[in-house]
Amino acid sequence: MDLKSQHKIKEILNKARKERKSTKRLIKSFSAVKPMLLDNAFEDAHDFVFKRTDCLVCANCCKTSSPIIINKDVERISAHLRMKAGDFVVKYLRIDEDEDYVFQQTPCIFLNEDNTCQIYDIRPKACREYPHTNRKNMYEILELTYKNSMVCPAVYEILLRLEDVGR
Ligand code: SF4
Ligand code: SF4
């Protein structure tokens, strides 16, 4: 399994959407797994899959969803752009249904045509941490991980590698 071509990435995303019910069942089975075991299994699968993934070919996260933007992101990015924080908020952000700041538009305004990020070194914290599959306490974000499996082909591949964890 390599996620290094557009064709493969599309194929995996189509499969993830088609198989979402079985992904939901898999996610539910994780509730019986000890948190540390689950974290270790996710971390191993994350490392395995991302060694075989080229995010610059994909960029589906940047194209289809917005990260949550926290105050520190606003301060850092607006300073970099030599803008006042308030002007940055008005120009680029909106408040979503969960009352979080997100970018006004998708694909992301900072995404270049070659899928690189114009503000990569100072990108939002949520972009640095996406898709959140190598963090502690994965049990806390299983619903989000389920949703991300239909945005990020790597998340779907990671979940496929965890099929035996809940058994
Ligand atoms: S800021 Fe950069 S990494 Fe984050 S969504 Fe935009 S293009 Fe992607
Ligand atoms: S994190 Fe996932 S959705 Fe984003 S570019 Fe990489 S493989 Fe694609």
Q: For residue 72, what are the CA distances in angstroms to 52, 60, 123? A: 32, 25, 11
From the CB of 131, is ligand 1 less than 6 Å away? no
- CA 126 to CA 59: how far, in whole Å? 14
Among all ligands shown, which has an atom nearest to the Cα of 151? 2
Q: How far is the centre of ligand 2, averaged over its atoms, from the C-alpha of 84 (Å)?
A: 31
Ligand 1 center to 47 CA (angstroms): 21
Q: How many Cβ atoms from other residues are within 10 Å of residue 66's Cβ?
A: 23
Whether residue 24 contacts residue 167, with contact meaning beta carbons closer than 8 Å, is answered with no
Per-residue pLDDT band at 167 (split at 50, 70, 90): confident
Q: Name the residue of 56, 104, 117 whose CB sits within 8 Å of the most ligand 1 atoms, as the mutation to test its pocket.
A: 117
pLDDT tens figures, 130-149: 999 999 999 999 999 999 99
Element (H or E) spanning 18, and its range? helix 6-18
**What pLDDT, on a 0 to 100 scale, did the predictor assign at position 104?**
97
Percentage with pLDDT > 90 across the chain? 98
Tokens linked to 95: 């408040």
55 CA distance to ligand 1 middle (Å):
12
Mind listing the pLDDT tens digit for each residue in 87-132? Answer: 999 999 999 999 999 999 999 999 999 999 999 999 999 999 999 9
Protein residue closest via CA to atom 8 of ligand 1: 62
List alpha helices for 30-152, DSSP H.
35-51, 55-58, 60-64, 71-80, 85-92, 125-129, 142-148
Residue of 139, 160, 149 whose CA lies nearest to 38: 139
CA 56 and chain centroid, separation:
14
Q: From ligand 2's centre to the CA of 9, what distance in Å?
A: 9
pTM over 0.85: yes
Nearest one of 2, 4, 16, 6 to 159, comparing CA atoms: 16
| CB within 8 Å of 161: residues ≥ 6 apart | 44, 45, 48, 49
